[in-house]
Structure 1
Amino acid sequence: MIAATLGAPLVILDSTAPGQVLAAIDGDAEAGGLAQTALVVSSKSGSTVETDSALRAFEAAFGDLGIDPAERIVVVTDPGSPLHQSADAAGYRVFAADPTVGGRYSALTAFGLVPAGLAGIDLTELLDEAEATLLEVAIDDPRNPALVLAAAIAAGDPRQDKLGLISDGTHLQGLPDWIEQLVAESTGKQGTGILPVVLLPVSPELESRPADLRIVRFVDEADGDRLFEHHHGEILVSGSLGAQFIVWEYATAIAGRILGINPFDQPDVEAAKSATRALLDGAPDATPALFTENGIEVRTTDPSLAASGTVAGTLDALWQRLSPDGYVAIQAYVDRLASPQLAGLRELVAADSARPTTFGWGPRFLHSTGQFHKGGPAVGVFLQITESTDVDVEIPGRPFTFAQLIAAQAAGDAAVLAEHGRPVVTLTLTDAQADVLALFEAAQ
């Protein structure tokens, strides 16, 4: 987000989809491809399977070009982590991050600053903005912006536990996506929480205005009377990037206090990781599809959801499981570079289900809204989208490939959701480009 807002070239690999991994390794041909690529490997624990797998793939790719990986790989991790130890042994440059700062609160630590700095960004202004804002959020005053924001998102009466996030003219790129992880993973536990829902200025939720949805609109200037006149009841937010980092991190921590939970742990994230490891170790056969329609294979954690024998009927049955305060979570375990149009499914589902709908690219969302899905209120229904693909990438030193890894991550999360009593429908696109159209038709 820092690089996108400040105009620096930086590619984020946050997927195990083999097509995306290949694209990241190949790089931008006009910029010299892998031969002109530096890799920043970031992991607090040093044992995250996605990070470890990508590192192994890049090490092999550099070696194939005759490039010493130690000349191109930089590591950001906690001091003494397994990654720190292995990186030292390999001769990689290591930036040790502050181990007392949680991952989702680390935008202004080495995890956020090292990649941005290497991409060529002058970080002085960003840090000056953050430092100035620290003075504002540290005072016990009704005008403290973090206190005001925390009260607005967590202390309403009645409380609105879904937070619609809209970029509407702001120059800050990707801010709602960053807030999604920060708020969902910090608050979604012990049966409570705040669910961020990233919206467009024309999303269906802005027409239906569900009673449990609070709107946050990011604008370049939030003080104008015209804005307040046209957006009554919304939270209007503006400010510099450094200021946003500080205010939202403080506000989220305060919101956790208001909700009576610890905003700094993530007790339910490990469950999906454990389920993935078990599937990779056991290598079970894939669960047979209940039926296939227009190239879309249908599986569910509750076969009664698929009783209609059609994709449209199965989706309708899933929406019928929604409570009046429920939400739909779309989880897309696909190559988003090859199928970016799939993100448009969110708008169709929000209109068809008449409830707030989130969209997450897997496995990225497992580290953000994944905590809320398992630990938050038990009112969600879940639509997984997976794909069959001939593209695959070996993971050196591992007995599984990237295609097997992402499949295990999807199946593992579905199993954990089912254990928590959440209904899950999994639709597998056997020809992603063709089947997306059939899926869109079924969702309308």
Structure 2
Amino acid sequence: MAEETGVTVADAGLADRAAALVDKLVADGVASRLAARDATLWGPDAEAEASVRLSWTSLHQTSRPLIGEIEALRTELQGEGVDRVVLAGMGGSSLAPEVITSTEDGVALTVLDTTDPGQVADALAGDLQRTVLVVSSKSGGTVETDSHRRIFAKAFAEAGVDAASRIVVVTDPGSPLAELAEREGYRKVFLADPEVGGRYSALTAFGLVPAGLAGADVARLLDQAALLAADLSTDSAGNPALRLAAALGAAHEAGAEKVVLADTGSGITGFGDWAEQLIAESTGKQGTGLLPVVVDGPAAAGFADAGPDATPVAIGPANAAATISVTGTLGAQILLWEYATAIVGRLLGIDPFDQPDVEAAKKAARSLLDSPDPATGASSPSTVDGHVEVHGTVGASGDGTLADVLTEFLDTVPDNGYLAVQAYLDRLDDASAALLRAELAKRTGHQVTFGWGPRFLHSTGQYHKGGHQNGVFLQLTGAAVDDLEVPDRPYTLGTLQLAQALGDGQVLADHGRPVLRLHLTDRAAGLAELVRAVQQVRQG
């Protein structure tokens, strides 16, 4: 029997306001209009963009032909001894395949959504004779993904493997990547529906092709979404998308602009990381929005002890600490959250389909890469403590210890603000950095997010510039022991990674936000010193 999908609101006051919003959404016919792709739902300013971004509402039907194509290619590859799938993609091109494959037992997918040379080198160290590279980019010009493609093409050739036969492309029709794939004769090109934005693309070729080639049951995923689709398009008080959107909207009205996501036994692995992009990039603009805070579980700091600025949301069975609980299978939850997020956009008065502030960080990084020495954008450290160099606009003024620097910096977090930890490191070898989120949340009493760079630039990066301007930003960068050249490009991966950190830091500083960058001259030793310094910070 399929798991029932539903939304529960535990707080009585919030539930009352949410119910009133549901009634208004039902009266306005929002659910049925959304299913019918009514681009007027978000006002005249959003209409042009919305008119070409609503095909995701029917993907549970329109993506069906992909299943046979994916299975045929997988069978071909396996017949050639190719059973290792590496995905080069960012944001909407990587987050959905990762949660889909992680949720299924025995399905392995190597995801490259990084410019860290160590992490890319680890992927290259796998058996290239057994490897197919899926290059996935909606625009066809994503710099990280293009770098991965160049590096793997060279590695295939050096290993005696015909690169063209081992590269599969997922992109929009007419993109530069589609044209390149045709010129190079790549193994197969899957053209996705161009009227679906990246963060709503989980059930398009962007989500299904990498996951299906790795062995995930993508037909079942579409079945799960299809089972709920009729309910989501119905104008009724029982519609779970209306209930979820109204609950989030009511919470935002009450001052809770942060949404703390914890898995409570849903059976889905990593759902919060996918939902994070959907929520942050869709709603974080024009000085408003919902900031998702992904935590390890309901016992994590910031969930049970969430303040008035945050709403604890359980992904899975109801939890005593959760204000809102959302249950359902993976396919159902994907479609539910997409509907709910689009509807929240209407409640907040913004366009949930654009991302007006994402380009700023990309432009700043490109400017640094175009300079004779991209590292010139880096300031000299104001102080060095052990294996940690201190750089920044706030918190880097003195000659104190690292703990002193952090204390001064963390004092800049405003009441009901948040701290964003941005780690431009290897999310596999430097995974211990993620432990900083909970420790900093305990120490400061504020909500703390954690993102791997540059991955978060395609996700929460929009909210950081366009959402509520109460964030404070801690960047972590690290020395690259063995850098990687990007073939036919004048920069290395390490140079690109640093340029992305510096570029984004400059844009945040230009927005008047406090930024502190800690550079680890030795990653392992520096992380250990950083953890010790955080533990010395007084608890708020």
TM-score (norm 1): 0.95
Percent identity, please. 53
- For 1:269, give the aligned amino acid: V
1:58 Cα shift? 0.5
Amino acid at match of 1:78: D
Correspondence 1:209-358 to 2 at 5 A? 209-219=306-316, 221-222=317-318, 227=319, 230-231=320-321, 234-282=323-371, 283-284=373-374, 285=376, 286-302=378-394, 305-307=396-398, 309-358=400-449
Q: What is the CA-CA distance between 1:148 and the residue it aligns to?
A: 0.5
Q: 1:206 aligns with which of 267, 284, 303?
A: 303
Distance 2:383 2:517 in 1: 11
**Amino acid paired to 2:116:** A
1:124: how far off?
1.9
Q: How far, CA to CA, are the matches of 2:272 and 2:261 in structure 1?
A: 6
Residue 178 (structure 1) aligned with residue 270 (structure 2): no
User: Could you say which residue in structure 2 is the equivalent of 1:109?
Assistant: 204
Give the 5 Å matches for 1:150-165. 150-156=245-251, 157-165=253-261
Q: Deviations over 1:278-312 (max 9, x none)?
A: 0000124232111100110000124x643352221
1:385 counterpart (458, 465, 476): 476
Which region of structure 1 is more displaced relative to structure 2, 378-387 or 116-125?
116-125
In 2, the alpha carbon distance for the partners of 1:423 and 1:258 equals 30
Tell me the equivalent position of 2:102.
4
Deviations 1:23-53 (A, max 9, x none): 11122xxxxx111011111100011100100
Q: 2:284 — aligned with what?
A: 188
Which among 73, 87, 97 is matched to residue 192 of structure 2? 97
SS in 2 for 1:12: strand
Q: Distance in 1 between matches of 2:257 and 2:458?
A: 20
- Equivalent runs, 1:10-25 vs 2, <5 Å: 10-25=109-124
Contact 2:306 2:312 in 1 (8 A): no
Deviations 1:329-373 (A, max 9, x none): 000001122111111011111111110000000000000000000
- TM (norm. structure 2) is 0.78
1: CA distance, partners of 2:109 / 2:479: 29
Match of 1:440, SS? Answer: helix
Q: Does 1:396 align with 2:493?
A: no
Distance 1:34 1:159 in 2: 51
Q: Which one-letter code corresponds to 1:321 in the other structure?
A: T
* Matching residue's letter, 1:251: A
Deviation of 1:146 after TM superposition, in Å, equals 0.5
Counterpart AA for 1:88: E
Indicate conservation of the 8 Å contact 1:155/1:258, yes or no.
no
Does the residue aligned with 1:298 lie in a helix, a strand or coil?
strand
Q: Distance in 2 between matches of 1:45 and 1:294?
A: 42
Preserved contact between residue 388 and residue 430 of structure 1 (Cα < 8 Å): yes
Instruction: Number of aligned residue pairs: give it.
Output: 430
**Aligned mate of 2:161, from 67, 70, 81:** 67
Runs of 5+ consecutive residues of structure 2 not aligned to the other structure: 1-98, 536-540
- Give the residue type in structure 2 aligned to 1:337: L
Check the 8 A contact 1:306/1:313 in 2, yes or no: no
Q: 5+ unaligned residues in a row in structure 1: which ranges?
A: 28-32
Please tell me the residue identity of whatever aligns with 1:257. Answer: R
Q: Is the 8 A contact 2:102 2:269 kept in 1?
A: yes
Deviation of the 1:130 alpha carbon: 0.7
Residue 130 (structure 1) aligned with residue 249 (structure 2): no
Distance 1:206 1:57 in 2: 41
Aligned to 1:87: 181
User: Alpha-carbon deviations, 1:370-406, whole Å to 9, x = none?
Assistant: 0000111110000000001221111001000000000
**8 A Cα contact 1:188 1:194, kept in partner:** yes
Partner in structure 1 of residue 458 of structure 2: 367
The amino acid of 2:440's aligned partner reads V
| Residues 352/308 of structure 1: CA separation in 2 closer, same or farther (3 Å cut) | farther
2: CA distance, partners of 1:204 / 1:240: 26
Runs of 4+ more than 4 Å apart: none
| Secondary structure in structure 1 of the residue aligned to 2:110 | coil
User: What's the CA shift for 1:206?
Assistant: 3.1
306-315 vs 247-256, which moves further: 306-315
- Offset of 1:317 from its aligned partner? 1.5
Aligned pair partner of 1:55 in 149, 152, 177: 149
CA 1:392 to 1:305, structure 2 compared with 1: closer, same or farther past 3 Å? closer
Secondary structure in 2 aligned to 1:46?
coil
Deviations 1:242-268 (A, max 9, x none): 100100000000001110110000000
Deviates more, 1:201-210 or 1:268-277: 201-210
- Confirm whether residue 431 of structure 1 aligns to residue 537 of structure 2: no
What is the match of residue 13 of structure 2?
A: none
Secondary structure of 1:325's aligned partner: coil
**Whole-angstrom distance in 2 between the partners of 1:336 and 1:391:** 16
- Letter of the aligned partner of 1:385 in structure 2? L
Secondary structure at the residue paired with 1:412? helix
Cα distance in structure 2, aligned partners of 1:118 and 1:102: 22
